[in-house]
Amino acid sequence: MIRQLFHLIRDKLHNLAKFGKRQPPQVSEVHQTHQPPQPVATRSPRRRKKTQTSVVPIPPTPQWTLEQFPVPPLPDRQRFHDFELPLSLMHAIADEGFSYCTPIQAESLPHTLAGKDLVGQAQTGTGKTAAFLITIINRILHHPHSGRRAPGTPRALILAPTRELVLQIVKDADVLTRHTHMRVVQVFGGTDYRKQQALLLDTVDILVATPGRLLDFQQQKLVDLGQVEILVLDEADRMLDMGFIPDVRSIVRSTPQKGKRQTLLFSATFTAEIKRLVEQWTQEPQLITIEPDQVAAQNVEQLVYIVTNEQKYLLLYNLITQQDLRCVMIFANRRDQARDLNDLLRQDGIRSALLSGEVPQDKRIRTLDEFRAGKIRVLVATDVAGRGIHVDGVSHVINYTLPDDPQDYVHRIGRTGRAGMLGTSVSFASEDDAFQIPALQEFLGIPLPCVQPEAKLLQAPDRVLSTKPTRSPRPHTSGGQERQRNHSSNPGAQRGPRKPRRTDTRTNPGNPE
């Protein structure tokens, strides 16, 4: 029994081993002749058919010609075509659609393109920036420098009083040099020192600077002004007011002597001090004057509301909300007024931002970009911070307080009515500053309409307006800046005049006012 069980298990194991091996196919004895093994059919991978792609050559970009920028001649207008400017410069002018010259361009370019010194009396918004930039670019293109120049040795130097004006000049220069290989560099206080330092370690064609920071780099031997061919002093009167003239004198002395360089000086006013500077720094200059009334009244409708200090903020809020104003600049005389006004507007649901000397430079640049993009509805600014700002599409400028200097009034309202568009200037005249209206009218040469606000503009809105700004943390300012301790709850309250302070100092780069 056990033996039979053992044999049964052995046979099972044997059969399992036998069938586990691969056996050749069984054939019948009739067909036991030898046959070669048949190959096993395997599926070959499917080959992707190659497609013939024809390479289309990219046609070369056709060279731009003046025929692509036709501008008909007019008897009373000057064309840029008439000056025989380099083609690359004309290409940039055509890109911007500048068909005819502004008055200061038409009067100044014949002299500056010929290499003569020039003194121009004009404000921002007249086209003077393009006038001196075209002169600089034309000279550099017509007189290319042979060989490689040392780093930090500009061929043209432009001095401006504020960082905002420097940034605007550089922006315009980048536009006009887009079809050239020129390198434009900016240096100014209140921002990253090392980044600007690195920019000067290469060749510089056009250097745009504020005086204090430029002197810093000169003292470090990073800038050599001994090869400057064109020197531009923009807003010389403002540099004089800010106390920059000693620095400017030092900078001018480090450039070639007058007669060996071309000097272009622009000023809104010509005081005795400015005339003395003109005599020292220029040689037989051509004098060009653009009357202030031409600038102020060209595209701007001006209106003055007679109000009390207590009515000012209610009138401002109703103007913005009832007329649905979307791109507005509001000017105040002092930083504390501007700061309080901005806080009140934000508390009452209006998207606003502050632009004053106590705001860090990086934030000021971001604020301007957001204002241009429409993310900010209202920009509250002081005169120094707002000077030189170019933002297209500003519909209204509101003078919350009338400026002490009529020139500041012209600069303020020049922020609207730009690029051929119409603008509106609204000024609030209260018991504190209404006495300045006669001097303004005399300076402008035109009467200013002074009216009482409509009843609806003084009507209390549905919501309760803020009466006192909630103090937000003050922006960080460097040591040495004068702090304003006596803040008024009413942004319209006036103080006595203060001594103007310089901006962009080397010891205090964060204080542009």
Mean pLDDT on 218-243: 91
pLDDT tens, 290-346? 765 454 546 789 999 999 999 999 999 999 999 999 999 999 999 999 999 999 999
Q: How far apart are CA 480 and CA 247, in angstroms?
A: 19
Closest CA to 393 of 364, 425, 422, 351: 422
CATH 3.40.50.300 residue ranges for the chain: 66-290, 294-458
Q: How far apart are CA 107 and CA 48, in angstroms?
A: 72
| Topology (CATH) of 66-290 | Rossmann fold (3.40.50)
Closest CA to 264 of 105, 407, 154: 105
Classify domain 294-458 at the CATH superfamily level. P-loop containing nucleotide triphosphate hydrolases (3.40.50.300)
Closest CA to 433 of 406, 463, 394: 406
pTM: 0.66
Kindly report the number of other CB atoms within 10 A of residue 161's CB atom. Answer: 28
pLDDT tens, 453-494? 999 999 988 777 777 776 555 554 433 333 333 333 345 444
pLDDT value of residue 386: 65
Q: In what order do the strands lie in the sheet with 156-159?
A: 184-187, 206-209, 156-159, 230-233, 262-267, 118-121, 286-289
SS3 per-residue string spanning 235-257: CHHHHHHCCCHHHHHHHHHCCCC
pLDDT tens, 352-389? 999 987 888 778 888 988 998 899 999 999 987 666 67
Asked if the model's pLDDT at residue 503 lies above 60, the reply is no
